[in-house]
A and B are shown apart, each in its own frame.
Chain A
Amino acid sequence: MKKLRIGINITIFIICAYLFRETFQFNNSLNQQGVGPSFFPRVLLAIIMLLTFIEIFTSLKMRKEAIPITSSGKRLTLFALTFLVFISLFNTLPFLVISVGFLFIMGIILKIKLLPSLLFSIILSISVYYIFTQGFNIIL
């Protein structure tokens, strides 16, 4: 946990430093009272960097805690990856096809039996499709 916390804060710090540099590219020619488009982002990024610094030092004082790799960790990785592929294919294939397919796969990953998982993914996908397309005029 300690390493993860430090790692996250260092990552946030680096991203903020890069974005801070980016603020000098903004068009500040028409700034008012010294407060142009870059003023707020710069102040906020500086404060975030300061807070990550404090967090890193606080984390250094913490005791080491190992993160156990469990079967649910692997299950979450598979679940999230399936979700990722689902979104990647969203809008490229017909909604009902990808929805039924991916919900079924997610069900299997979550250890739901084959038939209930298939039935549930079909019923849920069709219901959602009709609620949104017919009820709210949203094209899926």
Chain B
Amino acid sequence: MAFLSEIFQLGTITFILIGSILGLFIGALPGLTATMGIAILTPLTFWLPPEQGLAMLISIYCTGIFASGIPAILINTPGTPASMATTFDGYPLTKQGKAGLALGINAIYSGLGGIISTIFLILLAQPISSFALSFGAPEYFALAIFGLSMMIGISGKSITKGLLTGFIGLFIATIGLDPIMSTPRFTFDQSALYEGISFIPIMIGLFGVGEIFNQVLENPQKIEKAKQKIGRILPSRKEHKEMGKPFAMSSIVSTFIGAIPGAGGDIASIVTWEQSKRFAKGKKKEEYNNGSLGGLAATCTANNGVIGGAFTTMLTLGLPGDAVTAILIGSLMMYGLQPGPNLFMESPDIVYTIFGLLLISNIVVIVVGLFGAQLFSRIMLLKQEYIWISVILFSVVGSYALNNSVFDVWVMFISGLIGLLFRRLDYPLGPLILGLILGPMAESNFRRALINNHEQPYMIFFTTPISLILLGLALLTLLVPLIRKAFNKKSEAA
């Protein structure tokens, strides 16, 4: 029990709080990701004892992911890709004058998602990690296809429009060097295009700048009146009940997704939002994309829910579940610890310290989120024009900061114009981002699976059970809405 005394030392608690404040800034500023923040701040923890250094890094991670939902809710600009799906219902709630409630849900369910996934980590670390390790190229391809099948669910009114933007996203992901042979594709001898187009400037442009352009075009006074209402922060008991099922589903699904190396909060939040919509009934289903509490709870839970999963793979197998845990593996090695099965035997105290820090950091997320909600939502009381100018400057600097490249700033600007155009023409933006995220995973694993299986190449996707189940689920996801639509038409005609 020595780890408990180490966690509750004043020094460790102080570094958790410092990490939370830094995470809040990093997450809330579009363009700055938790990965970037942890990478920059890791050297500062070199001189600290392991429990204090890890306390700071883990709290930056947990708070950074939660905080990225704040700009997604208030100004429709996700702070990090993990909060892209938070814009679907968070921003409509702000438009309805319920910014306080949306921020409250973000704080509570992000924290709870993190806590539940940590409990999963403590109880089921071994079986989850061996499940995640059984993923090969066919399973990753099937996972990507399952994720892409969500395009229909997030397409809104027109499936064709959703598919069109989704496939455009998938195509953009093919620009640059191809993943197997490094053949340049659509690079036109421009060195900036060789590494492909980073999806963060596209996301900032589509959601942030595109929204600002749209608001400048609309009558600003109309928007201002609705937005000035902040409303209550804590959800009622009835609302908690409504969010119960999406929360439970999301915390389990996101933990498993987090445990799969390379799959993070961005994928988890979209998958859980779509699944939560699928299970919603009647009027509640129609609320999705228009300010659904269930949808918002599902995405907020998923953001922090992947953290426990990512730590599971990191601690038990020594494999990074996502980019942040890759950096954290480096930090543990710096302290002379080797993540992997032996870590549980050789340094059980440090493992329990990490469990404890994850739990406390997620509790801090709830406290900071709820107490800070009033303060964050004050942004909406500012004159609209000041917010627009601030978002523009943060979008420019945030896009530039990714690779110190003006090319990314141009990508952001062009994406902003496309975002405006697509908004005016009612083309959904979610599928485009989904395509961008999952495109590389789908292509590289499809080709890798074929290379590894010469004899019956295409059969490999149908002979491994996980791949078969995921492809079956994808098929169901695609067919069920179409069958339902046809059935509804028939019953209307009758």
Contact = CB atoms under 8 A, between A and B. Distances in A.
B450 A32 contact: yes
Given A87-B406, A87-B413, A136-B40, A40 B218 contact: no
A106 B212 CA distance: 12
Contacts of A128: 393-394, 397
B417 interface: yes
Contacts of A91: 406
A23 B29 CA distance: 38
A72 B219 contact: yes
B152 to A, nearest CB: 13
Contacts of A58: 160
Contact of B446 (A35, A83, A84, A121): A35
B171 A124 contact: no
A73 B219 CA distance: 10
B170 to A, nearest CB: 5
Contacts of B397: 128, 132, 138, 140
Candidate in B183, B185, B389, B451 with the most chain A CB atoms within 10 angstroms: B389
A33 to B, nearest CB: 4
A84 B354 CA distance: 47
Contacts of B178: 26, 37
A37 B179 CA distance: 8
Main secondary structure of the interface of B (DSSP, over half): helix
Contacts of B450: 32-33, 35
A110 B457 contact: no
B382 to A, nearest CB: 10
A131 B22 CA distance: 11
A132 B394 CA distance: 10
Nearest to A72: B217
Nearest to B40: A136
A51 B165 CA distance: 10
Contacts of B421: 8
B401 A44 contact: no
A8 B420 CA distance: 13
Interface in B171-222: 171, 174, 178, 180-181, 183, 185-186, 213, 216-219
Nearest to B36: A136
A120 to B, nearest CB: 6
A41 B186 contact: yes
Interface residues of B, number: 55
A80 interface: yes
B168 A48 contact: yes
B98 interface: no
Contact of A48 (B164, B181, B400, B454): B164
B443 A121 contact: no
A38 B385 CA distance: 46
Contact of B389 (A73, A110, A138): A110
A73 B454 CA distance: 58
A80 B164 contact: no
19 contacts: A1-B425, A22-B186, A32-B180, A33-B454, A33-B457, A41-B171, A41-B174, A44-B170, A44-B171, A45-B171, A52-B164, A72-B218, A76-B216, A103-B389, A106-B389, A110-B216, A111-B385, A121-B389, A131-B29
Interface of B: 25, 29, 32, 36-37, 40, 160-161, 163-164, 167-168, 170-171, 174, 178, 180-181, 183, 185-186, 213, 216-219, 383, 385-386, 388-390, 392-394, 396-397, 400-401, 404, 406, 409-410, 413, 417, 421, 424-425, 443, 446-447, 450-451, 454, 457
Given A86-B396, A140-B397, 20 more contacts: A8-B421, A8-B425, A33-B450, A33-B457, A37-B178, A37-B185, A40-B446, A41-B186, A44-B167, A47-B167, A48-B168, A55-B164, A75-B216, A90-B406, A103-B393, A112-B385, A124-B389, A131-B29, A135-B25, A138-B404
